[in-house]
Structure 1
């Protein structure tokens, strides 16, 4: 119950405490956060000033909560909409995210992959199709092809290897996606029909397997947020992820403050065992 209690506590307190906490990394150690919106945290706390607006970096993302608790020097390169290609290469005006990793980096977290296989965009398409007043043209639901899954697996492993090469002293942790779709069935809050819910479950499960394999093959560690947030999907009594029905400031089909807080706490626990 400790994780649930902590995650549902006031998130601002989580972000601002830290004076009495054990510090598994030296104070001021460089921490680089990479990934897509599930790392950036749009709608999670206030938008971080001075950051690219399109990246949607929230003040209470798991990276920012962890950095505040352990007094780390955070370099947040995560950006909403990012794919693995944007971690490994430039994205318009943004440099490759992985370029933020320097030899003195001590911690790297990586949450990415969903956009490569259209995980969230397919959920949005399913919501549109399930509406009684659906518009004439909903976005297409495009299931990822076997080739796309293969390409994702290779890119994820490359990211893990490259992170470890660039920062040999760093702890590199892949953080997979929190649960959005329940293990069975669907609900009004999620806003999609059962066949589309099953497709979402299958995609989430495969994405978790790809992430775990990338961590194993690259010698990185894995934080299975998919397991950590089990029982807190968008249909649960205490959801940690939004469905189609939004709470104030929420982002559809994305993790809430509680999920980010729980991930930050689990990361801290993982780092303590790595000292």
Structure 2
């Protein structure tokens, strides 16, 4: 389950029967893990999904959690960034900074809409509800919350992250809050946590071997999202968490 960081937009080929707007890659971390382990996978990840899409459904898409039942043995989830505008704001802020630096004009850029504290409190509760819902629907399943990987360096920026220093710091704080809230939800629901932020610390956008796309990107790629190396790294880490 999850949003774009679980779905894999910009990483073709895509799952043939998936909704086009979901950007559900046949190489996302769940797909890779299922192929390696010989698991029967139900992949309901969708780019743009919020916790509401997991719990209640989204337009024509049913609630992701309804894909789980008593026979489910493993559930992975990366969710929450869209609830607080994490990547959307990173893209908007980068667009504005790059446009100003190059004199190309800001007309095509959106203005970041920073989440207030209330949004983070709502997200905290929703993540815990997801854990509870999984436990109720699949009491015998192993539940693993997967953090958002690191994108920005601990300090500063680079050419692939054209951000104002204040915006970069604000986005680091959002990433930290997401990490903390994901960890809290895992703890509250007795789930495992894959610390993807720590795992990817030396593979951010500005590193020599990035697991993330920067900004801007070539056609078909998703800015500030995992590349195939990043997806594979998470799949390998998940595999290491499962019983042999």
- Pair in the same fold by TM > 0.5: yes
When you count strand as a share of all residues, which structure comes out higher?
1
1:67 to 21, 34, 45: 34
User: After superposition, what is the alpha-carbon deviation per residue over 1:59-84, rounded to whole angstroms, capped at 9, x for unaligned?
Assistant: 11000000000010000011000000
Rounded Cα–Cα distance in structure 1 between residues aligned with 2:154 and 2:95: 21
C-alpha distance in structure 2 between counterparts of 1:158 and 1:50, whole Å: 29
Q: For structure 1, list consecutive stretches of 5 or more residues without a partner in the other structure.
A: 1-33
Do structure 1's residue 197 and structure 2's residue 164 form an aligned pair?
no
Alignment partner of 1:246 is 2:217: yes
Deviation at 1:247, TM superposition (A): 5.2
Q: Which runs of 5+ in 2 are unaligned?
A: none
Q: Which moved more, 1:255-264 or 1:108-117?
A: 255-264
Please report how far the alpha carbon of residue 137 of structure 1 lies from its aligned counterpart in structure 2 after TM superposition: 6.3
Q: Name the counterpart of 1:111.
A: 78
Judging changes above 3 Å, is the alpha-carbon distance between structure 1 residues 68 and 248 closer, same or farther for their aligned structure 2 residues?
farther
Q: Which residue of 1 aligns with 2:66?
A: 99
Counterpart of 1:35 in 2: which secondary structure?
A: coil
- Return closer, same or farther for 1:222/1:202 CA change in 2, 3 Å cut-off: same
Superposition TM-score, scaled by structure 2 size: 0.95
Secondary structure at the aligned position of 1:75 is classed as coil
Supply the distance in 1 between the matched residues of 2:29 and 2:71 (Cα, whole angstroms).
22
Distance 2:126 2:228 in 1: 29
> How many equivalent residue pairs?
240
Provide the C-alpha distance between the structure 1 equivalents of 2:56 and 2:112, rounded to a whole number of angstroms. 27
Hey, what does 1:139 align to over in structure 2?
110
**Is the CA contact 1:45–1:61 (under 8 Å) kept in the aligned structure 2?**
no
Find the counterpart in structure 1 of residue 228 from structure 2.
257
Q: In the alignment, what sits opposite 2:55?
A: 88
1:178 shift after superposition: 0.9
Displacement over 3 Å in runs of 4+: none
- TM-score if structure 1 supplies the norm length? 0.84
| Shift, 1:248, TM fit | 6.5
Question: Cα distance, 1:138 vs. partner?
Answer: 3.0
Structure 1 pair 126/218, CA: closer, same or farther in 2 (3 Å)?
A: same
Matches within 5 A, 1:220-239: 220-239=191-210
Match of 1:183 among 148, 154, 168: 154
> What are the Cα deviations for residues 225-247 of structure 1, in whole angstroms up to 9, with x where unaligned?
11111111111111110110325
Deviation of 1:216 (Å): 0.3
The alignment's C-alpha RMSD in Å is 1.3
